[in-house]
Structure 1
Amino acid sequence: MELRQLVYFEAVVRYGGFTRAAEQLRIAQPAVSAQVRRLEAELGVALLERTTRRVRLTRAGELVLARARRTFDELDGARDDLARLAGELRGRVRLGSIQATGPFELAAALAAFHRRFPEVELSLRSGRLSQLVADLDADVIDLAIGPLPADLPGRIAARPLFTDELVLITAPDHPLAGLGALAMDAVREDTFACLPAASGLRRLLDQACAAAGFTPRVRYETNIVPQVRELVSHGLGVALLARSVAEAPGRPVVVHPVLPAPIDRPVGLLHLVDRPLGPAAQRCHVFLAGWPARG
């Protein structure tokens, strides 16, 4: 077993497929596939279930992934120990983030970074993607965690962190509550709760509804993502939300996967291409990029 094989395997899981992993690793896709197959052959078990849409971990794959990530953490720790011999890392890192980062557990990641680099001053502010990009441009923040739309400006460098599925949610007493997965067309007559019109979530809602042949009637707008869920839980409409928010603790709602195919929202780590990161921000970038997302 080679470290390279574990790195390639972990990248396939992190980015959801061989092609995206190869793009991020900047190597040919067949090389990634070959190394993962060689790892499976050496271990004598299948680590991944391969489908036409995505890859999924087998039980054996889950065990190997956990071990691999612990190995990477130990290697990072060794590098950090050596860095401390040369001098304690100091400085500041100004972060911006969207509200919904459920699978990523941002607070836990920042706490772990602070424990490892206690002399680095951390700060965090939240906002929609448009605000985060403006803050990067204005040098208000160094790094941002936000969605990765197809039209993300070219001046923004992006490193994928996780993908959150968008789902429909209804109140438990809604007529469709017992039907499981739903097509967007099923809620064309409902009113919606959502973020304001300038938000990325609102744009995704408009796109999904337009594909189903209607325009959503958004009667309840709020800047607070959990409040969207709260409005739906009280029967004031339906909503399209990230699964991590929909399944968060609170008043009950019913979660409906979207038919005919899931709506995935990739989220990544952003910074300006032409503004070099300082030592502390660069180390934080590496640390967050390696932090595992749940699922």
Structure 2
Amino acid sequence: MNGVELRQLVYFDAVVRYGGFSRAAGALHVAQPAISAQVRRLEDELGVRLLARTTRRVGLTEAGELFLVRARRVLGELDAARDEAADLAAVLRGRVVLGASPVLAGLDLAAVLAAFAARHPGVHLTLRGGITAGLLADLDAGAVDLVLGPIHDEYRTRDRTATPLLDDELVLLTPPGHRRARSRSIALADLRDDPFVCLPPDSGLRQVLDDAADDAGFRAHVPFEVSTPGEVQALVAAGLGVALLAASTVTGSATVHRVRPALRHPPIGLLHRELSPAARALAAVLTDAASEVSERRAPSPG
């Protein structure tokens, strides 16, 4: 026995990831017999069957499930070590996963990422969208390097660094023909009997709405929950309800009103743990872009 080889771990992981030997061979550009032979040698070295082979599919045995976790951990550590070594080269290299909320206070994320990619072509950049609370779970699990989104007080922990970048005003949207359509400003309490369209309960915006309504003496009725500010505006335009949104996310011809008294959206910023050199470079680009946005923010309603 010569011990477990790295390529055996790579081949084993690929067979599981792609659902079979032939697909793994195609993805890795390796002959299928070579993959089959190496996986078999791995099993012989371990003295246990890792894969349950049938004529139609390849599945994991109980031992295979346990070994897969360890194998992927080893491969992940190797990738991390490779990235760290590459970061020391003259050309910045590495991998960065950015988690981004749909509420970005007017920041043109596409333009920022394009500029970063042009400046650092050696960095493999991945974008993952979602609600900030879910992205923070990914951050804590190590699946995301940076989270860009609203920074609520409860998001600040001892293990996370929070850097506010931009502020944003909250505004009210009413549908066509609404009784308050001509009002420049509306007290939230005046909409206590209206249905609201909002993001899901675990979103920061929903928390702001619930807290503001509670302060105004009522509980917001939210029969319509959607995933993005754009969907919120579409449902309001269709006459299905009113909405509270960050001013920077409002587009088109929506009827917009100031909230009385004024409400501020939690600051938009970066949340992260320890950063690699590549992730620090992305954070710097985002910070610079936010500074530019602060000078040309979308105008307030009215």
**Which TM-score band (shorter chain)?**
0.5 to 0.7
What is the alpha-carbon distance in structure 2 between the residues aligned to residue 260 and residue 244 of structure 1?
19
Residue 173, structure 1, aligned to residue 173, structure 2:
no
Aligned CA RMSD, in angstroms, stands at 1.6
1:214-253 → structure 2 map (5 Å cutoff): 214-246=218-250, 248-249=251-252, 252-253=253-254
Per-residue deviation at 1:130?
A: 1.1
1:192-231 → structure 2 map (5 Å cutoff): 192-231=196-235
Aligned residues: 205
Residues 50-86 of structure 1: per-residue CA shift (max 9 Å, x gap): xxxxxxxxxxxxxxxxxxxxxxxxxxxxxxxxxxxx7
Which stretch of the first structure deviates more once superposed, 100-109 or 208-217?
A: 100-109
Aligned residue number for residue 266 of structure 1: 267
1:144-159 → structure 2 map (5 Å cutoff): 144-154=147-157, 155-159=159-163
Residues 220-265 of structure 1: per-residue CA shift (max 9 Å, x gap): 111233111110011110000111222x13xx32111111223233
Residue 122, structure 1, aligned to residue 125, structure 2:
yes
Partner amino acid for 2:181?
Answer: A
What is the alpha-carbon distance in structure 2 between the residues aligned to residue 114 and residue 104 of structure 1?
17
2:164–2:269 CA contact under 8 A, matched in 1 = yes
Residue 162, structure 1, aligned to residue 154, structure 2:
no
Residue 184, structure 1, aligned to residue 176, structure 2:
no
What is the alpha-carbon distance in structure 1 between the residues aligned to residue 132 and residue 195 of structure 2?
25
1:103–1:244 CA contact under 8 A, matched in 2 = yes
What is the alpha-carbon distance in structure 2 between the residues aligned to residue 197 and residue 284 of structure 1?
30
Partner amino acid for 1:280?
Answer: A
Per-residue deviation at 1:102?
A: 4.6
Partner amino acid for 1:151?
Answer: E
Using structure 1 for the length normalisation, give the TM-score.
0.66
Per-residue deviation at 1:95?
A: 0.4
1:166–1:243 CA contact under 8 A, matched in 2 = yes
What percent identity do the matched residue pairs reach?
Answer: 45
Partner amino acid for 1:156?
Answer: R
What is the alpha-carbon distance in structure 2 between the residues aligned to residue 267 and residue 204 of structure 1?
14
Using structure 2 for the length normalisation, give the TM-score.
0.65
Unaligned 5+ segments in structure 1 are 1-85
Unaligned 5+ segments in structure 2 are 1-88, 298-302
1:100–1:242 CA contact under 8 A, matched in 2 = yes
User: Which protein has the larger Cα radius of gyration, Structure 1 or Structure 2?
Assistant: 2
Per-residue deviation at 1:119?
A: 1.4
1:280 is aligned, of 275, 278, 281, to: 278
What is the alpha-carbon distance in structure 2 between the residues aligned to residue 138 and residue 90 of structure 1?
22
3-state SS of paired residue (1:257): strand
What is the alpha-carbon distance in structure 2 between the residues aligned to residue 197 and residue 152 of structure 1?
15
What is the alpha-carbon distance in structure 1 between the residues aligned to residue 282 and residue 254 of structure 2?
36
What is the alpha-carbon distance in structure 2 between the residues aligned to residue 194 and residue 279 of structure 1?
37
Change over 3 Å in CA distance of 1:195–1:264 after alignment to 2: closer
What is the alpha-carbon distance in structure 1 between the residues aligned to residue 246 and residue 262 of structure 2?
15
What is the alpha-carbon distance in structure 1 between the residues aligned to residue 240 and residue 286 of structure 2?
37
What is the alpha-carbon distance in structure 2 between the residues aligned to residue 260 and residue 153 of structure 1?
27
3-state SS of paired residue (2:269): strand
What is the alpha-carbon distance in structure 1 between the residues aligned to residue 224 and residue 275 of structure 2?
40
What is the alpha-carbon distance in structure 1 between the residues aligned to residue 103 and residue 205 of structure 2?
11
What is the alpha-carbon distance in structure 2 between the residues aligned to residue 264 and residue 101 of structure 1?
11
What is the alpha-carbon distance in structure 2 between the residues aligned to residue 160 and residue 102 of structure 1?
12
2:170–2:262 CA contact under 8 A, matched in 1 = no
Partner amino acid for 2:254?
Answer: V
Residue 255, structure 1, aligned to residue 256, structure 2:
yes
3-state SS of paired residue (2:173): strand
What is the alpha-carbon distance in structure 2 between the residues aligned to residue 264 and residue 282 of structure 1?
26
What is the alpha-carbon distance in structure 2 between the residues aligned to residue 203 and residue 238 of structure 1?
16
